[in-house]
Amino acid sequence: MELKDEVRSLRESTGMSRQEFAKYFEIPYRTLQDWELGNRRMPEYLFRLMEYKTRLEGLCLPKNMSAGKVTQVVGEPSINKLSHTAYLSNIGRYTVFRFRESRLKFIAPYSLERYDRVKEWDNGYLVVLTKYSHLDHLIDEYIDLAPILDHLVIDKDKFLRPIHNVEVSYD
């Protein structure tokens, strides 16, 4: 999605008109209009800040109240809060581990291409079929979340206890 579309989606997710949105963020109406129409490019860091503020202040409408096509905040994962499933993926050489509202991101080998399938999950210890760019076949990769949780000052037991299984998902 182009940035101008993301800006419009973000505004629509709040249910605000362009005028209301511009007034709320104290930016000129014409500036917002130009960003949404693609006449001018909004700085990406500014969009991320607005997205953060939108989420922080709970400006997004519930799904059934959205007037526009967008029904959730751009970039917000649609993970069921009651789910006991965590999701594994990667962004470049960083592994991403998502569970409910939490998202861990940690460095992986430089040649990581993608994860294929989780073979084993044992209370923080993962065995996952992985594709590396320097290999032409999938291999088992071993990931231990325990030291990562320690480094990030996250209570291991509390974090891991509700996770019953892990799936590879790039959604």
Partner 1 sequence: MTDMETMAREAEVIICGYAVSRSDFGFRVINLHDLGSCSVFREDGQLVETNMNDVELSVAREYFNKALKYMED
Residues lying near partner 1 in the complex (CB under 8 A) are found at: 45, 48-49, 51-52, 94, 102-107, 147-148, 151-155
Provide, rounded to whole angstroms, the least separation between the CB of residue 155 and partner 1: 8
Q: What is the sign, positive or negative, of the torsion defined by CA atoms of 32, 36, 39, 43? A: positive
Q: Quick one: 33 or 89, whose CB is closer to partner 1? A: 89
C-beta of 68 vs 92, nearer to partner 1: 92
Q: How far is the CB of 46 from partner 1 (least distance, A)?
A: 10
Give dist(CA 38, CA 43) in Å, integer. 12
Burial of residue 153 (number of CB atoms within 10 Å: 0-12, 13-18, 19+): exposed
Tell me the C-alpha distance between 85 and 95, whole Å.
Answer: 17
What does each C-alpha distance from 163 to 80, 82, 98, 119, 150 come to in angstroms? 13, 10, 11, 15, 17
Q: Which is nearer to partner 1, 57 or 155 (CB)?
A: 155
Tell me whether residue 82 or residue 153 sits nearer to partner 1 (CB atom).
153
Please, what is the minimum distance in Å from the beta carbon of residue 99 to partner 1? 11
Q: Which residue lies nearer to partner 1 by CB, 37 or 49?
A: 49
CA distances 82 to 145, 162, 166, Å, are 21, 9, 14
Task: Supply the minimum distance, in Å, between the C-beta of residue 2 and partner 1.
Answer: 18
Exposure of 91 in the CB half-sphere (CA atoms within 13 A) = 8
Residue 86 CB, nearest distance to partner 1 (Å)? 13
